[in-house]
Amino acid sequence: METIHFSQLVFAQAKKYGEKTVMCYRNKISDNWSTISWNSFAGQVLAAAKAFVELGVVEQQRVAQFSQNKAETLVVDFALFSNRATVVPMYATSTVPQVEFIVNDAKIEIIFVGDQHQYNVASEVLNHSKYLKKIIVFDSDVVLSDTDHSIFYDEFVKLGENSTKHIEVQNRQNEANDEDLACILYTSGTTGNPKGVMMPHSCFREAMRVNTLRLTSLSDKDVSIAFLPLSHVFERTWCYLCIFSGATIYINQNPTEIQQTIKDVRPTLMCSVPRFWEKVYAGVNENLSKFSPLMQGVVTWAIATGKKHNVDFLRLGKRPGILLKIKYTLADKLIFSKVKKTLGLENANMLPTAGAKLSDEIALFFRSIGVPIVYGYGLTESTATVSCFDYVGYEIGTVGTIVPDLEVKIGEENEILLRGKTIFPGYYMNPEATTAAFTEDGWFKTGDAGYIKDNKIVMTERIKDLFKTSNGKYIAPQEIETRLGVDKYIDQVAVIGDERNYVTAIIAPSISALEAYAKKNKIQYENVDELLQLQPIIEFMQTRIAELQKGMANYELIKRFSLIRKGFAIETGELTNTLKIRRAVIMQKYKLLIEEMYKK
């Protein structure tokens, strides 16, 4: 099938759809939803593209975006593509050191920011970086501290509207090709330094093609909510797919507002991470638990009926019998339709979720009640999707069927290896990391272990010691452990958080240092075990940890920790012969302690 290069896509879609709505965003003043038509979108992209020419942006120059989700961020994306330039997204919560690293690594001269916090961070980076020269601010209420190097987005657009550089933009569009870098997405490495995943237009065009082949129910009648950050490969590629398909996108700027946004919009589409469904599942169960014993019996019957109808029959392509259809209709009327309407998901067509492990229990529950979760697996390096649930034949316990025309095989240590047109060519200006990421014959090493069953992938474990929270954020535990390890009150630390919703730690403190601190501060205790449980000691350690983690992102911060008397040792199997932590051994040994830290 034909896919249009992203430099031309918005303009081609504007000719097709005209005044049809492409995006909606919440108006800050009225709090109502404002709309943007395809014609308006194309006009804004052209104005921004000409403004880039006026600012001297050249082909393949890197321009950063450091903002919450906004309609303007997609305008900037496609304006850059029209100039054959490259977008470098950053998470809205990034810290000064994180932004500075990316700015310097990618030699960023122009950065777009959203709110006051992001502007302040970017301003601090500008003061130290030899590359950053201009900050363009989306929010008009931001107070500018440096008007020599900062302008508002409206001024930027006006520059383009008054420009006569239309021919220059058109020439660049005509010269655009699949090898042009569309995007560089930075992901955390095991050492804590992020790596820039190079994503040429060929990767995105192939992603559009294979996802259109696979997701046949996706159409220009769909309504999607952009909930995950657009700096996340999942949401970015999904929004591009919606634009490619002519669907309407509602921009959710504040993640805390998502439940209200869903109820306002009643979407047919929305991608998310498993943590979202964990929260929804807990909320639904809490409400159902308040029912009378009689109604709880009805709920149990309804869910069993839904499983039989949706999972045992429709999932396998079988037609339910007339009696089962009647039972399911009744269960839907009594329970399922009410739950879905309360959540705002009664119109759902498909709800992709990926980025971390989704429990089989949750997947089965929502599929049983008719909420079409589409569980999948992918990486930034694979332009998101490697596999996902099919409409028919999906199997709970797997991460779905491999997408068309992507090669997947199992390598050493059961590592999942990938090869195909959606696989990135390498890490930006990092040949060593690129070489390490591929086998000699060109297969990308995912770092994830599993096996293939009937063209479906079953994940077993993560080989690389780089974990994800259940919110889909990558965490490099060694970076945190190294930071904490320099403190005189901490001898050893093991960071925990893989597939959890926040980071915790098992800490073996320096007993002698803590005893000296207790003596100095006249803290009374009977023995060391009591000392490690005292609230003044816990609060003191919390303060030390917070200080040591300054500059790290919020999702990297240790929320809870446990102090242990005896440190990790080679003899007990907790350390290797080279004194590296055996995290799996520690997690097993301190299983009860870890579970305590994740109790609400």
Is there a contact between 400 and 389 (Cβ–Cβ < 8 Å)?
yes
Residue-wise pLDDT for 77-108, tens only, equals 999 999 999 999 998 988 898 899 999 999 99
- Same-fold call for 274-462 versus 476-597: no
Q: Give whole-number Cα distances, 384 to 238, 344, 449, 490, 507, in Å.
A: 9, 26, 17, 39, 35
The bridge status of strand 150-152 relative to strand 134-137 is parallel
d(CA 34, CA 42): 17
Q: Which CATH number fits domain 6-176: 3.40.50.300, 3.40.50.980, 1.10.510.10, 3.90.1150.10?
A: 3.40.50.980
pLDDT at 1: 64
Query: Where are the chain's structural domains?
Result: 6-176, 274-462, 476-597
Task: Provide the β-strand partners of residue 408.
Answer: 418
Q: Are 578 and 521 in contact (CB under 8 A)?
A: no
Going by their DSSP bridges, the two strands 456-462 and 384-388 should be labelled as unpaired
Identify the pLDDT of residue 28. Answer: 79
The answer for residues whose C-beta is within 8 angstroms of residue 204's C-beta and 6 or more apart is 6, 182, 183, 237, 240, 383
194's tokens = 């992020």
For domain 274-462, the CATH architecture is 3-Layer(aba) Sandwich (3.40)
For the four alpha carbons of 404, 5, 435 and 555, in that order, the dihedral sign comes to negative
Question: Each residue of 472-520: pLDDT tens digit?
Answer: 887 878 778 878 877 889 888 999 988 888 999 999 999 988 999 999 9
Q: What is the pLDDT of residue 580?
A: 66
Q: Say which residues have a Cβ less than 8 Å from residue 412's Cβ, sequence separation at least 6.
A: none
Residues of the chain with pLDDT under 50: 189-191, 577-578
SS3 content of the chain, % helix, strand, coil (to 5): 45, 20, 35
| Cα gap 542→551, rounded to integer Å | 16
User: Distance between CA 264 and CA 184 in Å, rounded?
Assistant: 33
Helix (H, G, I), strand (E, B) or coil at 209: helix
| Class of domain 476-597 as given by CATH | alpha beta
Q: What is the pLDDT of residue 89?
A: 97
DSSP H helices in 409-520: 431-437, 477-485, 511-520
Give CA–CA dist 404/423, Å, rounded: 13
Task: Read off the DSSP letter of residue 61.
Answer: -
Give residue 452's pLDDT.
98
pTM above 0.85, yes or no: no
Query: Phi, psi (5° rounding) for residue 83?
Result: -100, 10
User: What's the CA gap between 403 and 386, in Å, rounded?
Assistant: 6
Per-residue confidence (pLDDT) for residue 190, from 0 to 100: 38
Q: Strands 384-388 and 401-402, how do they pair? A: antiparallel
Which DSSP string corresponds to 322-390?
HHHHHHHHHHIIIIIHHHHHHHT-TT-SBEEE-SSPPPHHHHHHHHHTT--EEEEEEEGGGTEEEEE--
- Say which residues have a Cβ less than 8 Å from residue 404's Cβ, sequence separation at least 6: 210, 213, 214
C-alpha closest to that of 543 among 572, 578, 517, 524: 517
C-alpha dihedral sign at 528, 532, 537, 540: positive
The pLDDT assigned to 235 comes to 96
Say what the pLDDT of residue 465 is: 67
